[in-house]
Amino acid sequence: MGDAGSGTGGSVTKVNLSEKFDLFSEAWTPKIVGDMNGMHVKLAKFRGDFDWHSHENEDEMFLVTKGTMRIAFRDRVETVETGEFIIVPRGVEHRPGAVGGEYHVMLLEPQSTVNTGDNADSALTVTELDRI
């Protein structure tokens, strides 16, 4: 198992989230763990503040699996606890940030998504994602 196939006429993928999170420690570098319907399932560890950005054509879903995520919008800040998810529609500016310490997130977003969105010149931009 753990075969991260295309998800389209491919093979079944089974993933244990904790085992996958144990495979890496760096922040802000999403790892691909599955594919479905033209989307990637990614795991990421977040620490500190990310850059402001939006995605022109992609809705993004963040499910917090450990810790607490703070995510700023232009008009407010939302706190997303472990066991909660938030969907950020395309076009909405956002900035994931820290609430003291690290938090872990399962991300669902189209395969075309760049982590820093319209802010693709950011030092935080990652274009070649690992598959674990």
Answer yes or no whether residue 77 interacts with a second copy by CB under 8 A.
no
Q: What is the CA radius of gyration of the chain?
A: 14
Size of the site for a second copy (CB under 8 A): 46
Amino acid at the residue 69: M
Of 30 and 60, nearer to a second copy (C-beta) is: 60
Residues between 21 and 50 that touch a second copy (CB under 8 A): 34-39, 41
Q: 110: how many CB neighbours lie within 10 A of its CB?
A: 15
* Given 24, 90, 122, 132, the residue binding a second copy (CB under 8 A): 90
Evaluate whether 71 touches 62 at the Cβ level (below 8 Å): yes
Q: How far is the CB of 123 from a second copy (least distance, A)?
A: 26
Nearest partner of 131 among 4, 28, 1, judged by Cα: 4
Cα separation of 96 and 53, whole Å?
Answer: 10
Of 7 and 121, nearer to a second copy (C-beta) is: 7
Cα separation of 51 and 119, whole Å?
Answer: 8
Residues between 113 and 132 that touch a second copy (CB under 8 A): none
Q: Where does this chain bind a second copy (CB under 8 A)?
A: 1, 5-18, 34-39, 41, 58-61, 63, 65, 73, 78, 80-81, 83-92, 106, 108-110
